[in-house]
Structure 1
């Protein structure tokens, strides 16, 4: 994982090295003091959190777990 500004870029290992996910953690617009995450695939929204998390650290942990699931999926693009 490589940190660029406030976003983190995750490049999976394997034959398709052009795949690049970007993780964004943002303050929730609907619930003060909570955070949401979004995963982008080459700039386009790929997945996002379905609920706000009570801390930035919890949002990041949930998003990184989702990225791990994406990287481990056998039918990955």
Structure 2
């Protein structure tokens, strides 16, 4: 349990340090940080959408294979 607590405290400390440094920076430097965050967010959203699309494609392929197997099984029983 100690490691988890220390990890959380370390993250909080880093967050506080980053926030303090951000607030003390110039508006130009703050804009650079905002741009980097927005770019990272856009890339993450794009990656998530690509992953979701691939998962949906795989699911539809599996469903079509299942439907095909059902049809073959029904035809062989007839």
TM-score (norm 1): 0.31
Q: Which has the larger radius of gyration?
A: 2
Structure with more of its chain in strand, by fraction:
1
Does 1 or 2 have the higher relative contact order (CA < 8 Å, sep 6+)?
1
TM-score (norm 2): 0.30
Structure with more of its chain in helix, by fraction:
2
